[in-house]
């Protein structure tokens, strides 16, 4: 990408990256070279990277531009969506309430939020605060995320809490890891239940205010601060473009406690410094206790260790803690969390034994770039030499792209698709208990899908075969085309429909939708 290549000549990048392997840490110039190489390889317009070592910020810099096509550089005050790295703010908030005696980790959720209910009444009764935060509910991974994304939509936090009762478990309670966002929103709602203060107000006043983090927002962003914003970017149908729907909004995010904080690099480094100091502020005062820090970094749910992790990092265990992932990496305790939001990527990495913290913020859906930068910095401080991490993750990305190309080749031929009934026979209103209404309607001679509470989920239904259609969303940034399959009786009338992802690795879980046809109201 020419706008990045102008920053550092390719030859210089190669030389600097080769030199990285000779030192036990990276100098600022070598970090610059690593970041710019990753930006070039993975098509990232802008990045902010910071490193804190032994309580001192040793590197904090912006790279590239905030928005493609505009000459506005990223700097340490540029505002990014930090996505799921927001979860640690929720656990820290609850830890503070535990310190204050207003809450206990093993409290039953229903004792604080009486309207909370899951599908199984026994699980509802036994569900604790820790269960909300550790992805072991038994629900399918990503259950109910359609109430959160794509934005904007019309779901409230009350809708989310009420909707949880309709999700059938996929596994037994507390037996398997399955990533969940909705339960973190419930966790955030414990704050007003206990204090009477909204989660976002608590975080801003009790955490960000104490840190002096003036460019970090859990709730509403004042008009005066709606500047120096990173725009989200993604490669959509082969072209890097801005994802307008995911620009930073000044409004309170329903999903804030799970992934809605917007923050600058400078303020994220203050947050990391607090974490490494085990809850102590620079003036020596305590935001949360060292005991709570240990609890937040203690394993709760065991994660699988793949062959790659063992071969690359000598990793023997992985676990999810409270808003953090844990692993042993080259003999060190490695504490981290990623954040992924279409158009943005974030990561926070802590290595307490090295008193090391790293923050990575990107304005693109470029997980490989995030990984290359994180590995390149942290491994250098661990004394791991001789690996070009940009090249390593480029190889991994190429493998994934090859697999995806095989899937794309099997997409249906829209022009030759045929179904077994007339298009208008499928038209009507369908309703799901938690997702609400979906209207299947004729527009001329075309059949269209339109979700009432998620307006961006609309698109043409292309006939494929039998009673199966291909939902081709009008907003191509959704990257979640789906099969829509109707149940049709002997009289030719459809009674329900279900959605299935076209690609097996889709980020959207559609399995909990039960869309029954509604008789004329």
With tokens 């990753």, the residue in question is 38
**Dihedral angle over CA of 259, 261, 267, 271, nearest 10:** -50
Statement: residue 253 has pLDDT above 50? yes
How many Cα atoms sit within 13 Å of 358 on the Cβ side?
26
Task: Dig out the tokens for 402 from the structure.
Answer: 């090859």
Statement: residue 6 has pLDDT above 60? no
Statement: residue 182 has pLDDT above 60? yes
Verify that 272 and 339 share a domain, yes or no: yes
Per-residue exposure over 291-312, b if at least 16 CB sit within 10 Å of its own CB, e if not: ebbebbbebbbebeeeeebeeb
- Which CATH number do you get for residue 54? 3.40.710.10
With tokens 């989200």, the residue in question is 232
Statement: residue 438 has pLDDT above 90? yes
Does 167 fall in a domain?
A: no
Verify that 434 and 326 share a domain, yes or no: no
CB 426 within 8 A of CB 448: no
Residue 492 CB: number of other CB atoms within 10 A? Answer: 11
Under the banding of pLDDT at 50, 70 and 90, the label for residue 412 is: low
DSSP of 139-190: PPTTTTGGGT-SSS----HHHHHHHGGG---SS-TTTS----SHHHHHHHHH
Does 372 fall in a domain?
A: no
Under the banding of pLDDT at 50, 70 and 90, the label for residue 366 is: very high
Does 26 fall in a domain?
A: no
CB 450 within 8 A of CB 502: no
Exposed, middle or buried: residue 416 (CB in 10 Å: 0-12, 13-18, 19+)?
Answer: exposed
The gap from C-alpha 451 to its chain's centroid, in whole angstroms, comes to 23
Instruction: Note every long-range contact of 102-108, with CB atoms under 8 Å and residues 24 or more positions apart, other chains counting.
Output: 102/194, 102/195, 103/129, 103/190, 103/194, 104/129, 105/129, 105/130, 105/295, 106/130
Measured CA to CA, the distance from residue 281 to residue 276 in angstroms comes to 10
Does 70 fall in a domain?
A: yes
Mean pLDDT for the chain?
92
CB 187 within 8 A of CB 90: yes
- pLDDT (tens digit per residue) in 199-229: 999 999 999 999 999 999 999 999 999 999 9
Mean pLDDT across the stretch 457-467? 95
Verify that 329 and 429 share a domain, yes or no: no
Verify that 271 and 208 share a domain, yes or no: yes
Does 137 fall in a domain?
A: no
CB 81 within 8 A of CB 151: no
User: Residue 311 is part of which domain span?
Assistant: 45-101+182-365
Mean pLDDT across the stretch 34-55? 98
Does 136 fall in a domain?
A: no
Does 161 fall in a domain?
A: no
- pLDDT (tens digit per residue) in 92-133: 999 999 999 999 999 999 999 999 999 999 999 999 999 999
Under the banding of pLDDT at 50, 70 and 90, the label for residue 66 is: very high
Report helix angle 28-42 to 367-381, nearest 10.
160
CB 86 within 8 A of CB 347: no
Last residue of a domain, one of 300, 333, 365: 365
- Strand, coil or helix: 483: strand
Verify that 296 and 418 share a domain, yes or no: no
Mean pLDDT across the stretch 472-488? 93
Does 233 fall in a domain?
A: yes
- pLDDT (tens digit per residue) in 494-503: 999 999 998 7
Verify that 248 and 338 share a domain, yes or no: yes
With tokens 């031929």, the residue in question is 413
Verify that 253 and 343 share a domain, yes or no: yes
Greatest alpha-carbon span in the chain: 75
Verify that 349 and 435 share a domain, yes or no: no
Mean pLDDT across the stretch 56-77? 97
Given this model, what pLDDT does residue 247 score? 95
Statement: residue 295 has pLDDT above 80? yes
pTM confidence score: 0.92
Last residue of a domain, one of 365, 385, 406: 365
Given this model, what pLDDT does residue 413 score? 67
Report how many domains make up the chain. Answer: 2
Verify that 359 and 471 share a domain, yes or no: no
- Which CATH number do you get for residue 502? 2.40.128.50
Given this model, what pLDDT does residue 1 score? 42
Measured CA to CA, the distance from residue 198 to residue 181 in angstroms comes to 18
Residue among 345, 323, 348 nearest 334 (CA): 348
Given this model, what pLDDT does residue 18 score? 39
Pairing of strands 482-488, 428-432: unpaired
Under the banding of pLDDT at 50, 70 and 90, the label for residue 19 is: very low
Verify that 190 and 266 share a domain, yes or no: yes
């Amino acid at each position: 990408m020419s706008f990045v290549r102008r920053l550092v000549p390719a030859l210089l990048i190669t030389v600097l990256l080769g030199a990285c392997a000779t030192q036990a840490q990276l100098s600022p110039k070598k970090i610059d070279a690593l970041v710019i190489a990753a930006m070039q390889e993975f098509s990232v317009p802008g990045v902010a990277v910071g490193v804190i070592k032994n309580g001192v910020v040793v590197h904090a810099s912006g790279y590239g531009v905030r928005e493609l096509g505009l000459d506005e550089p990223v700097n340490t005050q540029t505002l990014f969506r930090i996505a799921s790295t927001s979860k640690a703010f929720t656990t820290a908030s609850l830890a503070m309430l535990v310190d204050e005696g207003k809450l206990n980790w093993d409290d039953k959720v229903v004792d604080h939020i009486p309207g909370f209910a899951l599908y199984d009444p026994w699980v509802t009764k036994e569900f604790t605060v820790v269960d909300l935060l550790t992805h072991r509910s038994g629900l399918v991974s990503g259950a109910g995320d359609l109430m959160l994304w794509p934005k904007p939509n019309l779901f409230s936090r009350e809708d989310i809490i009420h909707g949880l009762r309709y999700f059938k478990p996929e596994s037994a309670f507390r037996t398997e890891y399955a990533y969940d966002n909705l339960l973190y929103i419930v966790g955030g709602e414990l704050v007003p239940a206990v204090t009477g203060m909204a989660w976002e107000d608590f975080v801003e006043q009790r955490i960000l205010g104490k840190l002096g983090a003036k460019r970090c927002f859990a709730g509403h962003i004042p008009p005066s601060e709606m500047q120096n914003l990173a725009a989200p970017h993604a490669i959509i149908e082969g072209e890097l473009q801005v994802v307008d729907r995911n620009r930073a909004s000044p409004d309170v995010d329903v999903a804030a406690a799970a992934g809605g904080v917007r923050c600058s690099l400078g303020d994220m480094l203050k947050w990391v410094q607090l974490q490494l100091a085990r809850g102590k502020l620079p003036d020596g005062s305590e935001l949360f206790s060292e005991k709570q820090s240990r609890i937040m970094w203690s394993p709760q749910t065991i994660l699988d260790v793949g062959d790659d992790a063992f071969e690359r990092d000598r990793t023997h265990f992985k676990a999810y803690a409270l808003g953090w992932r844990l692993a042993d990496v080259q003999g060190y305790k490695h504490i981290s969390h990623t954040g992924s939001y279409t158009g943005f990527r974030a990561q926070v990495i802590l290595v307490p034994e090295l008193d090391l913290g790293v923050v990575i913020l990107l304005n693109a859906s470029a997980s490989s770039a995030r990984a290359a930068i994180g590995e390149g910095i942290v491994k250098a401080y661990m004394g791991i030499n001789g690996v070009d991490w940009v090249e390593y993750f480029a190889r991994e990305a190429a493998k994934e792209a090859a697999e995806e190309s095989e899937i794309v080749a099997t997409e249906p031929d829209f022009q030759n698709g045929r179904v077994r009934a007339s298009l208008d026979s499928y038209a009507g209103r369908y309703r799901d208990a938690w997702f609400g209404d979906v209207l299947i309607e004729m527009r001329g001679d075309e059949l269209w899908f339109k979700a009432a509470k998620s307006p961006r989920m609309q698109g043409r239904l292309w006939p494929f075969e039998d009673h199966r259609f291909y939902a081709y969303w009008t907003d191509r940034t959704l990257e979640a085309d789906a099969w829509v399959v109707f149940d049709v009786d002997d009289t030719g009338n459809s009674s329900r429909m279900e959605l299935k992802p076209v690609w097996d690795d889709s980020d959207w879980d559609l399995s909990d939708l039960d869309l029954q046809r509604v008789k004329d109201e």
